[in-house]
Structure 1
Amino acid sequence: MKQLFFILALLLATGGSVMAKSVKKQHVILIGLDGWGAYSVPKAHDIPNIKNMMEHGAYTLMKRSVLESSSAINWASMFNGACTEQHGYTEWGSRTPEIPSAIVNSRGIFPTIYSILYEQHPEAETACMMEWDGIKYLVDSLAISRVEVVADYLNNLDKLTELAEDYIKEKRPNFAAFCYDGIDHAGHESGHDTPAYYDAIARADRYVGRIIQATKDAGIFENTIFIITSDHGGKEKGHGGKTLLEMETPFIIYGKGIKEGYQITDVMMQFDVAATIAEIFHLKRPQAWRGQPITSVFKGRR
């Protein structure tokens, strides 16, 4: 009996250490490109890094935003795994929920992917760095190792990438999101589907390449999954409406354990992003989440 108890205790101890090690060895980098409409991908020619990720990873150009198709609402849904009616952020620039969140955690916020990763693996190194400061109100900042906003990014377009490169090399994060605003800015200033808009996409692609290189320099590339996606698209000089130009955004996932050259056929919504990240880390998802992991992107899964 004592021998059996010892074996069970050893198995439990080993299982716990294996889980901890698996989180420390797993890395997910999310690159969020505000205002990047899916319609632009076939038209954009100067995006070699993004195209390489599509060729050697999995993707869909039909992920839908929640309504309305604007920023805070969809960044919240992306990180919170839920729809507007549940998390309660209903306006472009929401900083607190206009509708009381269906549930809140001990920090008083609807549970985000950062929340559940922190609660289930507090040792995980995480970050959320952004150009648009509105995102910091949506992600449960107290559950994140490092939150940083790039002030006046339009006068220093490389700053966020420089921060990302240094941070990746120094900390080797388990989960980090780097959220860029340049494409959305070009859409509002010059218009969607214009030369300036595609120039902004090409610039973002160069930043993607630099972030990938930083993981190689940090020695974590082989254990990293990269996700590139957006909060919404747009048309003319705006967004927020119910057209597919505004609602459909790319979702590209690439790296360790991801199928290569796979076009996702599952219906995908904005809140499925958080659920898919939770699946990568083997996290228990909150009952209040409505997001479903897109398991078909993983090798050996359908």
Structure 2
Amino acid sequence: ALSLTTRPVMPSVTMPNWTSHLTGSGPEEHGVNDNKWTLAAHPLPPVAKDAEGYYPSIFKVLKDKVPNFKSAYYYNWKELIYPINQKYIDEVSFEEQDGYSSNYNKAFEFLKRHQKDPTLVFLYSVHTDHAGHEHGWMTQPYVSAIEAADKAIGALIDRLKQADLFEGTHFMLITDHGGIKKGHGGMSLNEMQIPWGITGPRIKKLGIFEEPNSNMNTSLALARIFGVKDFPEYWTGALPKFVFK
């Protein structure tokens, strides 16, 4: 099931939107309203906090609710993880200089190592965004960066198939925002529409769907996949029930 018109939250910049994906909420709730947010300094406090002061993420919810749950977070833009409490994540890996091949390998090894456990892997790469800022959105270098990401994802999927780990796995393909010229942050549809894809044993084969969807719905879909219905009531996303069998 694939949406090409999913809405990110405003503003259409990185940290607020990945936080929304991973916390089922918008900036009004989680308080991350720009890329400068830190736990020590932010203008808007979240509506709820865990013991360390973080807004509860999908990693915390699943760690609390799912026996033997394992999770990993792989990234290459250092600020990305700031709003997420790492104590609920089993493996965290930052790759320098926009690299991602090492993290893709680590993701495979983590999934293989924990194949008997309920496991969530977040695998992020920033190089496509940086290509947009340097060369312009939809320029050839930008498209080439997307093609490189596509090849890396394809190689990972091939390895999962060879290890007999593909059939029982759900995959989500998500991003944070669009772009125009060499930037983003505004309210044009080129900035405020994103792809949001999901596939796996429990997902309908809908092709492209037109139903309204938000990146705040990502964590609710993940909770459903892991059989969790008791997520925080202050999460403001909606479960996209129509994608599930």
Q: How much has 1:101 moved relative to structure 2?
A: 0.6
The unaligned stretches of length 5 or more in structure 1 are 1-57
> Is 2:94 aligned against 1:149?
yes
Contact in 1 for aligned 2:100/2:125 (Cα 8 Å): no
What is the distance in 2 between the residues matched to 1:117 and 1:239? 32
Residue of structure 1 in register with 2:221 after alignment: 276
TM-score (norm 2): 0.93
What is the distance in 1 between the residues matched to 2:137 and 2:52? 38
TM-score (norm 1): 0.76
Greater CA radius of gyration, 1 or 2?
1
Residue of structure 2 in register with 1:196 after alignment: 141
Contact in 1 for aligned 2:202/2:225 (Cα 8 Å): no
1:197-236 aligned within 5 A: 197-236=142-181
Decide which structure has greater helix share.
1
Number of aligned positions between the proteins: 240
1:169-184 aligned within 5 A: 169-172=112-115, 174-184=119-129
Q: What one-letter code is carried by the residue in structure 2 that aligns with 1:217? A: Q
**Paired residue secondary structure (1:223):** coil
| Residue 21 of structure 2, aligned match among 58, 78, 99 | 78
**Paired residue secondary structure (2:61):** helix
Q: How much has 1:122 moved relative to structure 2?
A: 4.9
Q: Any runs of at least 4 consecutive aligned residues in structure 1 with deviations exceeding 6 A, and if so which?
A: none
The unaligned stretches of length 5 or more in structure 2 are none
Contact in 1 for aligned 2:72/2:107 (Cα 8 Å): no
CA RMSD of aligned residues (A): 1.5
Q: Percent of counterpart pairs with the same letter?
A: 30
What is the distance in 1 between the residues matched to 2:67 and 2:43? 30
What is the distance in 2 between the residues matched to 1:226 and 1:98? 35
What is the distance in 2 between the residues matched to 1:265 and 1:280? 22
**Paired residue secondary structure (1:164):** helix
What is the distance in 2 between the residues matched to 1:113 and 1:175? 10
What is the distance in 2 between the residues matched to 1:86 and 1:170? 35
Contact in 2 for aligned 1:61/1:250 (Cα 8 Å): yes
Contact in 2 for aligned 1:129/1:149 (Cα 8 Å): yes
What is the distance in 2 between the residues matched to 1:106 and 1:215? 37
The 1:123/1:157 distance shift into structure 2, 3 A limit, reads closer
Q: What one-letter code is carried by the residue in structure 1 that aligns with 2:236? A: R
What is the distance in 1 between the residues matched to 2:37 and 2:151? 30
What is the distance in 1 between the residues matched to 2:110 and 2:101? 14
What is the distance in 2 between the residues matched to 1:291 and 1:157? 30
Contact in 2 for aligned 1:79/1:274 (Cα 8 Å): yes
What is the distance in 1 between the residues matched to 2:108 and 2:35? 30
> Is 2:63 aligned against 1:118?
yes
Cα-to-partner distance string for 1:114-157 (whole Å, 9 max, x where unaligned): 0100111252110111011222212221101111111223xx45
Residue of structure 2 in register with 1:18 after alignment: none
